[in-house]
Amino acid sequence: MSSTSPLELEGPRGTTSLRARAHPLAPASRQRALLDALDLSRAPHRGDFALSLSASEQGILRPVAIEIVQINVGKLCNMTCRHCHVDAGPDRAAEQMERATVEACLDALDRSGAHTVDITGGAPELNPHFRYLVEGAVARGKHVIDRCNLSVLLLPRSRDLPEWLGDRGVEIVASLPHWRRRGTDSQRGEGTFGASIEALRRLNAVGYGRGDSRKRLTLMANPVGAFLAGNQTSLEREWKDGLGREHGVRFDRLITLNNMPISRYLEWLESSGNLHAYMETLVRAFNPATVSDLMCRNTISVSWDGRLFDCDFNQMLEIPIVGEDGRPMHVRDLDAGSLLSRRIATGRHCFGCTAGAGSSCGGSLA
């Protein structure tokens, strides 16, 4: 278990976790119930994802060979962003992947056939076994991604982390909602933008974001509000220009993704009166061309306690992959062959990934 105390985790605060506030939406079951109960009768297929899917050319979501194992090492985070679909925060110290589960993940990598290990959280760097996991995945020849909130790199414990990650060829996918201050601070907490720029400078200083494929720095932008992500290619040009001109910061590529109606973003949608319109927007923007590239097809998601999911969003909504015995599957049981015949679980939240240009942990799809 982590020995991290909240005092060590000084970071920007947009809010506190649903869990800490004992908010009615803290349990995943309540979030699923809220989404299911929405009246979307005016939207296509009454907002039924399975129906929208069956009307599309693909008709059904079929798994393909596993390419990416996404490991969520825990909900602990130094930040408490208002849109977090994980409900992460400094208070979530108990939900951290233990060493034995990390070992099980590394063993599973050998069986998975995946070429990429995508490490996320919370702030994954706060897990005491983070570096062990990275070393193990690198030793197995995997491309490793660290999904980084940037501000975590300013903690004293992380001083050497940019160089350490760079030495191992780890790609950093860093969250930054906007290249200008206002949107970033309003979503992720006052002072986040300044901290993010400082962290990006440190990454640039050790060679990240300068076109070196072994030190790839990817920025990940999500909308600051109830609208879909913008055009990835066009935004990348503007961001590169803006961040370079105003802050002297460089990065390699920008990916955009839609916000998912889960946890604290769901809370915000509901409390701001945007939930119904946002869900209608997602349903109306269903784009069949995104289906073949949805990440649930080639990715397996592992939770901090080792359970398997079709994606990080199903993980947060507690919709696990269930084995033939009817019980949630564990990473110890990961078998690439049998997973190919699984049925990918879907729900209304899935419209978040199929809307517009599509959305995934790798950016837009269509």
Partner 1 sequence: MRPMLEWPREEESMAAGYYNRDHLPHFGDIAEGGGDLAKKFFDYYGAVFAAGALTEREKALIALAVAHAVQCPYCIDAYSHECLQKGSDLEEMTEAVHVATAIRGGASLVHGLQMLEHVKKASM
Residues lying near partner 1 in the complex (CB under 8 A) are found at: 178, 180, 182-183, 221, 223-225, 227-231, 234-235, 237-238
Closest to partner 1 by CB, 178 or 216: 178
CB 171 within 8 A of CB 115: no
Closest to partner 1 by CB, 190 or 212: 190
Closest to partner 1 by CB, 128 or 230: 230
Closest to partner 1 by CB, 274 or 298: 274
Q: What residues have CB less than 8 Å from 179, skipping those under 6 apart?
A: 238, 239, 242, 243
Q: How far does CA 329 lie from the centroid of its chain?
A: 21
Provide the minimum distance between the beta carbon of 201 and partner 1 in the complex, in angstroms, as a whole number: 22
CA angle 141, 102, 70 (to 5 degrees): 65
CA angle 123, 125, 130 (to 5 degrees): 125
| Alpha-carbon gap, residue 92 to 90, rounded angstroms | 6
CA–CA distances in Å: residue 256 to residues 8, 166, 177, 225, 345: 31, 23, 9, 14, 24
Provide the minimum distance between the beta carbon of 135 and partner 1 in the complex, in angstroms, as a whole number: 37
Provide the minimum distance between the beta carbon of 31 and partner 1 in the complex, in angstroms, as a whole number: 25
Choose among 7, 176, 20, 145: nearest CA to 95.
20
Name the burial class of residue 23, with classes exposed (0-12), middle (13-18) and buried (19+) by CB atoms within 10 angstroms of its CB.
middle
Provide the minimum distance between the beta carbon of 295 and partner 1 in the complex, in angstroms, as a whole number: 22
Closest to partner 1 by CB, 251 or 309: 251
Closest to partner 1 by CB, 234 or 338: 234
Provide the minimum distance between the beta carbon of 356 and partner 1 in the complex, in angstroms, as a whole number: 9
Q: Which two tokens stand for residue 35?
A: 């989404």
| Alpha-carbon gap, residue 95 to 116, rounded angstroms | 24
Choose among 114, 118, 121, 68: nearest CA to 92.
121
Helix H segments across 189-293? Answer: 192-205, 232-247, 263-271, 275-284
Closest to partner 1 by CB, 157 or 180: 180
Give the containing element (helix H, strand E) for 253: strand 253-256
Closest to partner 1 by CB, 193 or 313: 193
Choose among 290, 281, 196, 207: nearest CA to 239.
196
